[in-house]
């Protein structure tokens, strides 16, 4: 058991890539997959580098997402006591470019979920009775760049260097969100009007909401 993560790294890599490709209609590139299981036990982590989703057909050659690094770390002991809540130690996203496109005919490059995925039948009563208890102790987002080009509505937006550090806790219908965010430059155009031009934005959120 002690050698499983390293021994089967290539198999896990192939499985992850295969599952992604089967569920989306786009090109997928996965640079590297790192698994650290025992170093930080009981909080193993998985890191993905250079993860790219590129368009096909009308969006051939356009990268929808290019993630430099994504990391997730979870306290696996919390999985044995779901009622108390799942504890996610960290989710991080770094050096990521997102390019969202909408053509004049309404076609979008983000509508990539495969139509061959079978629809699931859910027990509505079970969903209503179920509760989600989850704690994300650290959300770290660094250097995220977003481009939005909507030719149908003539809306154009550009976000340069988005950074966020935060904390999220969900207990049933209660949601606690704390975060501090900054954007180095934010531009927004609608038609011939420029509403924002390389504006610097800083914001903080401290919110407790009951959505029950």
pLDDT at residue 168 in the model: 93
Tell me how far CA of residue 62 lies from CA of 30, 58, 97, 115, in angstroms.
16, 9, 11, 21
Q: In the structure, what pLDDT confidence band is assigned to residue 9 with cuts at 50, 70 and 90?
A: low
Among residues 3, 46, 52, the alpha carbon closest in space to that of 26 is found at 52
> pLDDT tens for residues 97-127?
999 999 999 999 999 988 765 555 445 444 4
Does the pLDDT at position 85 exceed 80?
no
Highest mean pLDDT among 36-40, 48-52, 129-133: 48-52
* Beta bridge pairs of residue 92: 71, 140
Q: Per the structure block, which two tokens stand in for 36?
A: 């650290």
- In percent, how much of the chain has pLDDT > 70? 85
Average pLDDT over residues 73-80: 80
CA atoms within 13 A on the CB side of 146: 15
pLDDT at residue 39 in the model: 63
CA 122 to chain centre: 24
Q: Kindly give, in sequence order, each residue whose CB lies less than 8 Å from that of residue 79, ignoring residues fewer than 6 positions away.
A: 86
Average pLDDT over residues 49-55: 93
> pLDDT tens for residues 151-185?
999 999 999 999 999 999 988 889 999 999 999 99
pLDDT at residue 126 in the model: 47
* pLDDT-wise least confident of 30-34, 38-42, 85-89, 136-140: 38-42
């Amino acid at each position: 058991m002690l050698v499983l993560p390293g021994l089967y790294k290539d198999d896990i890599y192939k499985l992850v890539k295969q599952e992604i490709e089967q569920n989306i209609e786009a090109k997928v590139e996965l640079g590297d997959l790192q698994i650290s299981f025992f170093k930080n036990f009981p909080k193993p982590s998985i890191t993905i580098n250079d993860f790219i989703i590129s368009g096909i057909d009308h969006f051939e050659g356009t990268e929808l997402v290019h993630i430099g690094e994504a990391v997730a770390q979870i306290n696996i002991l919390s999985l044995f006591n779901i009622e108390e809540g799942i504890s996610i130690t960290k989710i991080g996203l770094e050096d990521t470019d997102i390019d969202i496109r909408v053509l004049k005919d309404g076609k979008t490059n983000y509508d990539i979920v495969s139509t061959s995925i079978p629809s699931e039948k859910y027990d509505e009563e079970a969903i209503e009775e179920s509760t989600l208890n989850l704690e994300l102790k650290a959300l770290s987002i660094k250097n995220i760049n977003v481009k939005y080009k909507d030719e149908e509505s003539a809306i154009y937006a550009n976000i340069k260097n988005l950074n966020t550090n935060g904390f999220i806790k969900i207990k049933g219908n209660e949601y606690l969100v704390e975060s501090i965010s900054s954007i180095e430059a934010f531009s927004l155009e609608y038609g011939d009007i420029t509403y924002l031009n390389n504006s610097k934005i800083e914001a903080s959120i401290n919110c407790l909401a009951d959505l029950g």
